[in-house]
């Protein structure tokens, strides 16, 4: 069988590699490995040109993690801890997301990808989650994932992929859903009440999680995406 082609959005950041130090379109290789293990063919989508025009050639889309979304896009001023805002990436990924939903393609949002979906549908974000929950467990230190349990909602696509029981997953986010966008349903939460997964009906597969499944050895969510494709 042909591997479904899965587009994955990417960063543009300064990076150092071999003898070079340059601006680079990049993506943590964990995303690529997870898609391949799940049976898909990954294609990296940089936020340049017109990436939304490529969506019609894909079988599914992953909006990957990254920096914070410009708070002006949901009507707020920046919190002092809001950072790594990249306007060009916001613009490109909103266009990719819109094209994906218009085409009814399977969609998996990861971390920023959940926040993009929520904002695109009219929702808002908590700009610095420790102010809300009183701890930094969702992002314990720069470059360090925080293991915390989440509880899927029974009957949801997330629960069908991962099971309905609480499970420990890898977190790295200091923002999260505040006001939920119209049409979205919360399908997993953390013990402190943080929204950790949402789904959009009646789309065949439009799932977004706030944690980082690419950092897990379990590829169940990626397998669910590929199966939907």
Catalogue all structural domains in the chain, each as residue range(s) with its CATH number. 5-228 (3.40.50.880)
CB atoms within 10 A of CB 87: 12
Question: Which residue among the candidates 93, 196, 199, 214 is catalytic per the annotation?
Answer: 214
157-207, pLDDT tens digit by residue?
Answer: 999 999 999 999 999 999 999 999 999 999 999 999 999 999 999 999 999
pLDDT, tens digit, 9 for 90 and up, residues 116-131: 999 999 999 999 999 9
Q: Is the pLDDT of residue 135 over 90?
A: yes
Contact assessment for residue 128 and residue 79, using Cβ atoms and an 8 Å cutoff: yes
Q: Which of 111, 196, 199, 219 is catalytic?
A: 111
Is the pLDDT at 139 greater than 90, yes or no? yes
95 Cβ contact partners less than 8 Å away, ≥ 6 residues apart: 50, 51, 52
Catalytic residue, chosen from 126, 138, 174, 212, is 212
Element counts in the chain: helices (H) and strands (E): 6, 13
| DSSP conformational letter for 9 | E
**Annotated catalytic, 126?**
no
The CA distances from residue 50 to 34, 47, 131, 154, in Å, are: 26, 8, 37, 38
What pLDDT score does 173 carry? Answer: 98
Q: What angle do CA 53, 108, 60 make, to 5 degrees?
A: 45
Mind listing the pLDDT tens digit for each residue in 59-105?
A: 999 999 999 999 999 999 999 999 999 999 999 999 999 999 999 99
Q: What is the pLDDT of residues 3-36, one digit of tens each?
A: 999 999 999 999 999 999 999 999 999 999 999 9
Catalytic residue check, 212: yes
Which pLDDT band holds residue 209 (cuts at 50, 70, 90)?
A: very high
Spatial neighbors of 143 by CB under 8 A, at least 6 apart, are none
223 part of the active site? no
Name which of 219, 208, 161, 212 is nearest 28 in CA terms.
Answer: 212
């Amino acid at each position: 069988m042909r591997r479904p082609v899965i587009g994955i959005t990417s960063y543009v950041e300064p990076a150092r590699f071999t003898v070079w130090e340059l601006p680079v379109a990049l993506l943590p290789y964990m995303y690529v490995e997870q898609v391949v293990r799940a049976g898909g063919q990954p294609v990296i989508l940089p936020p340049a040109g017109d990436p939304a025009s490529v969506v019609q050639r894909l079988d599914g889309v992953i909006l990957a993690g990254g920096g914070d979304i410009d708070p002006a896009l949901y009507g707020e001023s920046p919190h002092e801890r809001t950072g790594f805002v990249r306007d060009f990436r916001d613009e490109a990924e909103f266009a990719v997301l819109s094209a994906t939903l218009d085409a009814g393609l399977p969609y998996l949002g990861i971390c920023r990808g959940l926040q993009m979906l929520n904002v695109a549908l009219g929702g808002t974000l908590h700009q610095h989650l420790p102010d809300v929950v009183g701890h930094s467990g969702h992002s314990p230190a720069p470059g360090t994932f925080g293991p915390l349990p989440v509880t899927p909602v029974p009957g949801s696509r997330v629960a069908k992929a991962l099971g309905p029981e609480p499970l420990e997953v890898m977190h790295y986010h200091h923002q999260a859903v505040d006001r939920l966008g119209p049409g979205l349903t919360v399908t997993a939460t953390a013990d402190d009440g943080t929204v950790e997964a949402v789904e959009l009906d009646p789309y065949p597969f439009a799932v977004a999680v706030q944690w980082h499944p690419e950092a897990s050895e379990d590829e169940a969510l990626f397998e669910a995406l590929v199966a939907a494709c």
